[in-house]
Structure 1
């Protein structure tokens, strides 16, 4: 019987363990935390966006790094198989806006409980509070002088032999959940290249004080454009949030993944179209109509219907129009400038927040050194990688978890089939 060790009890690790155990292999899942799925518990604001129900083209389109590498993984275990797995094991799911799939209960704990139940059914030995110090490797012989993995050594000095080892330690994001980069160290010690890592799906810092004045304000149905000087880097419609440090929300998290890492370190110009459904001409007609109905009102009292309350003082200040001025005295030039502000509200982005606020890590084990059909190392036989430890990342919407399930499954079944290694 094959003995397989999986390092890391996150989504990729749990799925790899289940897949390997289904072949009849003896599987041991090692997790250094006090429980499994610690990061999974907080994903999707605690609701856990399990996957995305879009078609295969949509899945690949939302992978930002090394999408082609995932061809075998996605087709071996696609999003429908993920949904079927959870439904079959008692977790009812629902599909929301943007094809996002959640548990009906809206509780990530139910996703973890389902995985734990299956691990138990498949007789996977789960060892919590168990930290791996290093991989055990030895020469495969004179005819083949390369090293092969033969097990792991724990931090307490215990050695555990295995026929295959799967690294599913996650990335470097949300470090409080245990994602401290152990897998990168194991990979480097085995001779692998680890590409530069940085936070991704992470909020931006903003320069202007007026952004902080609007802390907690969420804007829906706005369009954001981000430019590096005159070059458009990102343009999208959706929802965003002002914070005490800058800007966040789905639009900005996605922007952090879409913009090249080298560009997010400097200053970028962001413009928010607060009324994307209206052209400047339509907006001008609406303003004139509002002003006409409130001829003797002061400017500061006439724009309440246009913006959330928290935004009004900022809009008044940036407009350059005297707040006490009667609306019937506002000039065409002042009105035009105000319309320009509504259609292109300016924010200067000046960097990203750190790994503690990043949903995922961009960068990781170089995929050219991993077999995409099996997730096995091309450098060290019997060593496998899956999930966020690899140089793979995607947009929000369930895509990153789909990467975890698919690569975890493929690593699990491949590690359990020695004749095909």
Structure 2
């Protein structure tokens, strides 16, 4: 983890947000309508390119309406109304190109640098990152030639691939080849717009804890907190999109572990401590974002206690101090990041925790602010590290907060 000579580092200005969504010819094209609509509503400038085959599934008029801008097809490719070639204009305009669904045909063309339509010419005329969301029949996806083209294309640092899911496909086959859902693609887009395609965590292993532990009194009652684990989810997504290998140790949650992330579900603090200590040795950066309970019932009943049998005074016992134990065991080459959720003065207790638990950095976040902290999709915080840096992060999404934290840790500011 690098330090900065300037303890008052400021977060960078927001990046430009101009995205080309290029649609290939597959049934998954209908899902891209939701993606385009979501991007526009989030403030992203969107331009849409449709291949000839894509128009068999969705119409240019639909995409033009959703993007609030003309949708481009090969019919526009060589029209003389443009003072410069359209593919050059689009390629220079874009901050990011997303190809969804990516068909086997377009994949093969891109792998070998072929350009015979507006989509492929625009890719070759651009220098921005390209996000690929493949979709095809399982047998097609698993063909040796297709997998060779996929691996070959991803050796180019411009190209970022989002894994296919498994499930019931349009051909009634159950297997791999399902295009990632629009929400997952949208998250990856937000990441790439922030990082501009940098993979500054490539080769790193990131260990993250998430959610609120549950300390059970009996099979139906527990001591817990309102944490949903969304901050840990954002950290896992950001680290994955920056090239890291990610292990996410999480409590029960309403969200799914992202494709490409190793998820390990736990319930109690004891279980979380066991897994975190077991995985610590191979982690380059450990981020303890979970809200671990401070206490647990002293005794556990394997059967539900009748209401009349509940004790008036519940005997309590402490739970393991996971982050303190991690701080004792981490090696000099490893970084350990903690979180401090506070009300009122958030800086003083966070700075004390930073020193006492041998952390390299800490995220102090208020839980008494509107639309911030537990259960919210957004967060705000102050980052502090042992070198004395202190950076305030205004309210933003938890994914953005995660990226700002990794920027802070890897010295991008």
Fold shared, TM-score > 0.5 on shorter chain: no
**TM-score range with shorter-chain normalisation?**
under 0.3
Larger radius of gyration: 1
Higher helix share: 1
TM-score (structure 1 length as normaliser) = 0.25
Of the two structures, which has the highest relative contact order with CA contacts closer than 8 Å and spacing of 6 or more? 1
TM-score, length basis structure 2: 0.25
